[in-house]
Structure 1
Amino acid sequence: MSDNQNISHHTGTVSPPEHASTVSPAAEVSPPNTVSPPNIVVIQADQMAAQALGAYGDAAARTPNIDALAEQGAVFDRAYCNSPLCAPSRASMMTGVMPSELGCFDNGDDFPSSVPTFAHRLRHVGYHTALVGRMHFLGADQHHGFEERLTTDVYPADLDMVPDWTLPLDQKLQWYHDADAVFSAGVSRASVQQDFDDEVGFRTLRHLNDRVRANQAAASAGEQPQPFLMVSSFIHPHDPYEPPQEHWDRFAEGEIPDPAHPEVPDAAEDPHSHRLRAMSGFDLRDPDIEQVRRARRAYYAAVSYIDDHVGRIRERLETLGLSENTVILVTSDHGDMLGEKGLWYKMSPYERSSRVPLIVSGPEHLVPQGRYQTPVSLLDLMPTLVDLAGAREPRSGGDSVLEIARREQTGEMGTEDRPVIIEYLAEGTYRPQLTIVRGQYKYVLCPGDPEQLFDLVADPDELYNAAREPKHAGRVAQLHGELDARYDLTALEAGILESQDQRRLVAEALSMGRIRAFDHNPEPEQRYVRGDFWSALEFGTIRDASR
């Protein structure tokens, strides 16, 4: 039963002794905002690079609310997505399963409803689960375990964005990322993305109110309050780069640094970057330095806009008395190259595209405060939430980042001990691209392309491919061997091509005749005074306990 329905249903059962009073907890029941295990709030931005946050060392960033969470919590300095693209990254994050194993290869792909997500797992142990905002679910299942989904998504949920590895690069599909987002970057008084995120922010705050109302009603009935998982997922700072004026004005002209290395890598050494540029049109026109600066300023302003939403969520948790028993996790689905190496957006294995923020803040007995260098990934998010909820340990390719932090603190785990795998199986490549990060090294393998090896300590900007150096031959062989042991590249490529072919047929068929969209449309709300007049008013009231 949704919270919105609860208001209507409770009006017929809760009978206050005084019209002006609020529901009071029974004496033997815990206070209504105290639950064990903890409440969990996941805040996800789209395309927000870790390197664009003050918490990760960017002096130009204006992110005081995210930075404050980092100061109080656990910060994972080497967190990666498992695919630098929205839908496969999010599917992997929710399930703890790599995109290739899920069969969710790209932004035109769904994943099976029968695969448990963290929403299923927490709901199974008694959590109320709600999604507010974006998750890029495709196909018929628009919930994947969430009891409530309070908004639609910003993009359609159909299967139309299917890559075609048989097409030459000059035959662009309509939905490809386009260079125009850089050339047209600047302030917008209103935009689709602002409207969407403003709604996500509003409904997030109202949903927190609803959880307190539900807890009050439970306490009045002599029941324990129900813990909740709320995922608030925003579209900013994803391109197009169109922030509000207020956030643009937070940055002075020239305050945001230019790309450190805007030069495009050699095509023979890095053909993937040249494919990405050609796909988006940057091979035909390059932004000049003023256009680059304008786009980067707009991006940083959009990140600051997200930070404001984070601040409002933190403030509401505090106001409602929820903050002491709530864990907040901030992350993103991938980063943005922002002009480094002549690249924009994501889809690249380079750090700016594949690294994400991962910050966990909560009660000290649950969250080991500090900064951690062990590589982790979004694959670890599902086991982390299960760990916090005290649910059954899942079979997963990941591990709880809280346990990883504890083991790093005690010296039981070092940065070499735990590899992270990144897959790219979508547009802008013709063959599967696989990346493994182990310790300070990153190795990239794509059939037909030169192998790449980067020493992220000696060469953090990934300027020098060390794969051909004799002194690294053993390391290249080791990392190549690890990928060989995990993947049958021939079978993977054949499976991707077959999937693309099948999904193109499905998409074309569904566009004919009577069309039924997969888009989620929230159910009509019964939020205000319905049924018993005074009980409806009473259920909706959250008293200020300090007065």
Structure 2
Amino acid sequence: MSDAQDTSHNSGTVSPPNIVVVQADQMAAQALGAYGDEAAKTPNMDALAAEGAVFDRAYCNTPLCSPSRASMMTGQLPSQLGCYDNGDDFPSSVPTFAHHLRNAGYHTALVGRMHFIGADQHHGFEERLTTDVYPADLDMVPDWDLPFDQKLQWYHEASAVFDAGVSKATVQQDFDDEVGFRTIRHLNDRVRANQWAEAHGEEHRPFLMVTSFIHPHDPYEPPREHWDRFGEGEIPDPKHPQVPSVEEDPHSHRLRAMAGFDVRDPEIEDVRNARRAYYAAVSYIDDHVGRIRAHLEELGLAENTVIIVTADHGDMLGEKGLWYKMSPYERSSRVPMIVNGPEHLVPQGRYQTPVSLLDLMPTLMDLGGAPSLETEGSSMLETARREAAGDISPEDRDVIVEYLAEGTVKPQLTIVRGQHKMVICPGDPDQLFDLEADPDEFTNVARSPEYAEVASTLRAELERRYDLDALDAQVRTSQSQRRLVAEALTKGTMRHWDFVPDAETRYVRGDFWSALKYGTIPDASRR
């Protein structure tokens, strides 16, 4: 067995830990108190961070929902997986961390959002307890040959900023409230399963539960309770709201034009309103995290459970005149990565070595004792141990961020090495940032003589890894094929790929007598 295992307090046998992954959508690391934001109200995530491992430089591998999550689950970059954008599926035959842990004896469940596109809506999860928010069809296929004055229906719109504010109910609130409820009830079910196993002389089965919320993704429409936690002027304005010049950064101007910010720019009150709504939505997620942790403790599961909090990408929130994601800048591409668990499993502290969502799969396999395999990622637990021992430094680990979706017309590639970040895209000027001297990425030093060697080295590394012309051709071919498939599937009888949860079997239906016998979880004070 792996050393990433614990002794069960019930049976005295060695067993792997339970694992709970909580993922928020579009939650920037910089919007959490644990990452230094003094305006944030995130006490539950901050408490997990204070008692666990915090990776200060965690990145997504593409700042867009569906390909980011597919990449995270498989440990492969979007270009390797062939999953480029939000209208792209990834093959059912590619193993995910759910497959690996299920093979290692885990019960695996997905509660909430994962933005799977295609016919496979499980990708290794034994159970899926809710549907998703967005359609699973090929509805959002970009077209790099489409002129920018022709906008596709599903593009992000500036209206989410102008219309931000309190809502009594929204589709996203309804969804996340259900995700929270189903999460709590699933934890109850894992204890019920343990009770059944004990009664039948069987060992407890460890579980992996991925709970995935849609907040704080736009539209920014939080509940009143969370909006009222923030006073007027309590949330700082963007540090650098000015848009970089189009000569210096055409990608940002493409993103603004795609959403309509080139036509209508938010006034400062619009910006403040939207940012307050976003922070309120992050606080809403924090409440859910607190309830999950409290229930683990109430059920006696906390001592042998690892909790991981992360996101699929961030949100620019008005920095550089940008909103939402799709940008290589830090607010868009960095994510929280907090790992909390028993000290013998999780090395507590803060770590500066860059990590990415590619590292989640090997981390989960490390925790679960699953056989190791060659992937693009590495176990974050091992990275933390090596950094603490002085065996590695931030310069020893590269992180790659790809962007191959709408808002660009060529592959955009980013490499982070130590304090430097290099962005290249054919037709756009190179961008190089010294994140130590310039953490807000205000000054592009790609053409500065003192950074010439760094720029040359990082560009050479990207060119070694990628054939840009071949990748461009692959993306365009994929887009063309998927547009044809999507159009064909609208003809005649339509069969959507959306996941429909199984009918409820909890109460009178199903195994009624077992439900009566093992369904009650008695309180410790009960005689």
TM-score, structure 1 normalization? 0.94
Q: In 2, distance between residues paired with 1:247 and 1:475?
A: 45
The match for 1:217 is 196
Residue 299 of structure 2 aligns with an amino acid whose one-letter code is: L
For the 8 Å contact 1:440–1:457, the answer to whether it is kept is yes
Per the alignment, residue 273 of structure 1 pairs with 252
**Shift in CA distance, 265/224, structure 1 to aligned 2, threshold 3 Å:** same
Aligned with 1:146: secondary structure?
A: coil
Residue 545 of structure 1: CA displacement? 2.1
Tell me the distance in 2 between the aligned counterparts of 1:339 and 1:371: 28
Task: Quote how far apart the aligned CAs of 1:538 are.
Answer: 2.0
**Residue equivalent to 1:542:** 521
Structure 1 residues 257, 532: CA separation in 2 closer, same or farther (over 3 Å shift)? closer
- Structure 2 partner of 1:336: 315
Which residue matches 1:54? 33
- Map of 1:193 onto structure 2: 172
Aligned partner letter, 2:454: R
> Could you say which residue in structure 1 is the equivalent of 2:48?
69
* 1:311 maps to which of 285, 290, 300: 290
**Structure 2 partner of 1:117:** 96
CA distance in 1, matches of 2:113, 2:464: 35
Question: Residues 239-296 of structure 1: CA distance to partner in whole angstroms, max 9, x if unpaired?
Answer: 0000000000000011000001000001100000000000000000001000100000
Q: Give 1:393's aligned amino acid.
A: S
Counterpart of 1:107? 86
Residue 394 of structure 1, CA deviation: 1.9
Per the TM alignment, residue 395 of structure 1 is displaced from its structure 2 partner at its CA by 1.8
Alignment of 1:80-479 (within 5 A): 80-479=59-458
The letter of the residue matching 1:281 is G
Q: Do the aligned residues in 2 keep the contact of 1:65 with 1:308 (CA within 8 Å)?
A: yes
SS at match of 1:435: strand
1:189-231: per-residue Cα shift (whole Å, max 9, x none)? 0000000000000000000000000011001100100000000
Query: Partner residue of 1:500?
Result: 479
Q: Distance in 2 between matches of 1:185 and 1:341?
A: 19
**Aligned equivalents of 1:510, 1:402: Cα separation in 2:** 45
Structure 2 counterpart of 1:266, which letter?
S
2:460 and 2:195 mapped to 1: Cα distance? 57
Q: What root-mean-square deviation, in Å, do the aligned CA atoms of Structure 1 and Structure 2 show?
A: 1.2
The offset of 1:517, in angstroms, is 0.4
1:307 maps to amino acid: D
Distance 2:488 2:513 in 1: 53
Closer/same/farther in 2, CA of residues 211 and 34 from structure 1, 3 Å limit:
farther
Secondary structure, counterpart of 1:395 in structure 2: coil
Query: Secondary structure of the equivalent of 1:144?
Result: coil
Q: Which letter maps to 2:32?
A: L
Amino acid at match of 1:411: G
Distance apart, 1:36 and its partner CA: 1.3
> 1:544 deviation in Å?
1.1
> Does the aligned pair in 2 maintain the 1:336–1:346 contact within 8 Å?
yes
Opposite residue 475 of structure 2, the aligned amino acid is I
User: What letter matches 2:147 in structure 1?
Assistant: P
**Structure 1 position 546, deviation (Å):** 3.5
Distance in 1 between residues matched to 2:195 and 2:14, nearest whole Å: 12
Deviation at 1:171, TM superposition (A): 0.3
Please say if residues 153 and 519 of structure 1, whose CA atoms lie closer than 8 Å, have aligned partners that are also in contact: yes
Equivalent position amino acid for 2:505 in 1: Q
Q: Measure the CA separation in 2 of the matches of 1:70 and 1:203.
A: 25
Structure 1, residues 512-546: CA drift from partner, whole Å, max 9, x if none? Answer: 10000000001102101447765432221001124
Q: 1:420, 1:438 within 8 Å by CA — same for their partners in 2?
A: yes
SS at match of 1:101: helix
SS of 1:416's equivalent?
helix
The residue type equivalent to 1:391 in the other structure is A
| 1:43 to 2:39 alignment | no
TM-score (norm 2): 0.97
What stretches of structure 2 of length at least 5 have no aligned partner?
1-7
Specify whether residues 143 and 534 from structure 1 end up closer, same or farther in structure 2 by C-alpha distance, changes over 3 A only. closer
Task: Assess if the C-alpha contact under 8 Å between 1:30 and 1:219 holds in 2.
Answer: no
Aligned length: 519
Letter in 2 for 1:228: F
CA gap 1:269/1:546 in 2 versus in 1, 3 angstroms: same
Three-state SS of the structure 2 residue aligned to 1:193 is helix
**Residue 517 of structure 1: aligned partner:** 496
SS of residue in 1 equivalent to 2:394: coil
**Any conservation in 2 of the 1:187–1:298 contact (CA below 8 Å)?**
yes
The CA distance in 1 between the partners of 2:387 and 2:272, in whole Å, is 39
Q: Contact 1:336–1:345 (CA<8 Å) still a contact in 2? A: yes
Quickly say closer, same or farther: Cα 1:448–1:226, change in 2 above 3 A: same
In 1, the alpha carbon distance for the partners of 2:167 and 2:102 equals 39
Distance 2:427 2:266 in 1: 30
Distance 2:512 2:456 in 1: 73
* 4+ residue runs over 6 A deviation: 32-35
Q: What whole-Å deviation, never above 9, does each CA across 1:128-177 have from its counterpart, x for those lacking one?
A: 00000000000000000000000000000001100000011110000000
Identity %: 77
Separation in 2 of the partners of 1:30 and 1:367?
19
Aligned mates of 1:461, 1:378 — CA distance in 2: 22
